[in-house]
Amino acid sequence: MATRRPVADYLCAHWRGVLPVRASLWVNVVGLRVLLLGLGWTLLPRPLPSIPVLALIGADIAVYLWQAVGLVRHGDQRARSFGTTGHVWAGLLALLVALFLSLSIWWSLVLHSPLSPPRPDPLAGRTLPEETVTLTLAGAQLRLTGVLPIGIAGRVAAALERQPGVTTLVLDSPGGQIQAARGLADLVLAGGLGTHVEATCSSACTLVFMAGARRTLGEEGRLGFHSYALLIPSGHPNMDPATEMQRDLTYLEARGIAPEFLAKIPRIAPEDMWFPSRPELLDAGVLTE
């Protein structure tokens, strides 16, 4: 007496195309594929080691072929028996859509596994200034010294609350986080503060400087401009430097800088710095006096 193997018999029946429509199409193709896609997107941990990734992709390809072959053979059986294959074509279309979704899952698994080539660290070989900043109140001036870190706008706002009479933000900074500079620039704009530089204000610091209602430069003061580069640790969400720079160039133009001056900035390499002369800054509208 032959041993019954319900699971194996069921799998073979689908492969031969002899199962009814509800099993062949709705259970084996649509239902199973929705289940696999859902598990792939929500439950699979990332990253996975290389061998499990390859095993999962191979298994899913085998299941996909089993689904497709069984559905085609089922359609052939239906065509010979009843002359109708409409539901089969619908199932094949669903499998085609599922294939593209599966490819995206497979690609995600590979990217988050050792199979993906290691991405170079954009900080490798480069030294970033330490993100330290000091704020000093001096009468009607608030002096900011150091690299602009995330959260600096909140610190400056708190300092302004303690000293309501501040009218000018004095900047001495080599730059820092672009998002931090934008937030601080918004605060300066909203408060109608003036900006002043006695030493150096470079890179992202110039965004804050240009927010000043009155923008002045001391005798030894310098403003430095250059193009953008991506300087964030590997694994963080990436930003496009060109897109971010265009956003800030638009802001600088709205603040009154001449277009011909702005056109020079993208040509300055990220590792270099352009320090325009005082006449250039006045002619371009960077300084108000």
Residue 145 reports pLDDT greater than 50: yes
What is the pLDDT, as a whole number, of residue 85?
63
Residue 88 reports pLDDT greater than 70: no
Q: Quote the domain boundaries for residue 210.
A: 133-284
Query: Percentage of residues in the chain with pLDDT exceeding 70?
Result: 82
Question: Does the reported pTM lie above 0.75?
Answer: no
Q: How confident is the model at residue 83 (pLDDT cuts 50, 70, 90)?
A: low
The answer to the question of residue 119 being in a domain is: no
User: Which one has a higher pLDDT value, 150 or 126?
Assistant: 150
Give kind and range of the element (H or E) at residue 107. helix 86-111
In the chain, the number of structural domains is 2
Instruction: List the structure tokens of 176.
Output: 């820092």
| Mean predicted lDDT score pLDDT of the chain | 83
**Same structural domain, 150 and 260:** yes
Give kind and range of the element (H or E) at residue 197. strand 194-202
User: Pick from 111, 142, 166: which residue ends a domain?
Assistant: 111
CA distance 166 to 76: 83
User: Which one has a higher pLDDT value, 89 or 168?
Assistant: 168
What is the pLDDT, as a whole number, of residue 3?
56
What is the pLDDT, as a whole number, of residue 207?
96
**Same structural domain, 208 and 147:** yes
The answer to the question of residue 236 being in a domain is: yes
Q: Give one DSSP letter per residue of 132-180, joined into a string.
A: -EEEEEETTEEEEEE-B-TTHHHHHHHHHHH-TT--EEEEEE--B-HHH
**Same structural domain, 70 and 12:** yes
Average pLDDT (123-131) is 45
What is the pLDDT, as a whole number, of residue 72?
82
Average pLDDT (233-256) is 78
**Same structural domain, 83 and 142:** no
The answer to the question of residue 222 being in a domain is: yes
Residue 20 DSSP one-character state: -
* Lowest mean per-residue pLDDT among 36-40, 108-112, 122-126, 176-180: 122-126
The answer to the question of residue 44 being in a domain is: yes
Backbone φ, ψ for residue 146 (5° rounding): 125, -175
Residue 123 reports pLDDT greater than 50: no
CA distance 251 to 189: 12
Residue 248 reports pLDDT greater than 90: yes
What is the pLDDT, as a whole number, of residue 118?
55
**Same structural domain, 137 and 246:** yes
What is the pLDDT, as a whole number, of residue 117?
61
User: Pick from 79, 111, 143: which residue ends a domain?
Assistant: 111
What is the pLDDT, as a whole number, of residue 223?
97
**Same structural domain, 266 and 164:** yes
What is the pLDDT, as a whole number, of residue 126?
44
Instruction: List the structure tokens of 160.
Output: 């302004």
The answer to the question of residue 117 being in a domain is: no
**Same structural domain, 147 and 276:** yes
Instruction: List the structure tokens of 121.
Output: 């660290």
Query: Percentage of residues in the chain with pLDDT exceeding 90?
Result: 43
Average pLDDT (38-44) is 70
Highest mean pLDDT among 57-61, 140-144, 236-240: 140-144
Average pLDDT (126-142) is 74
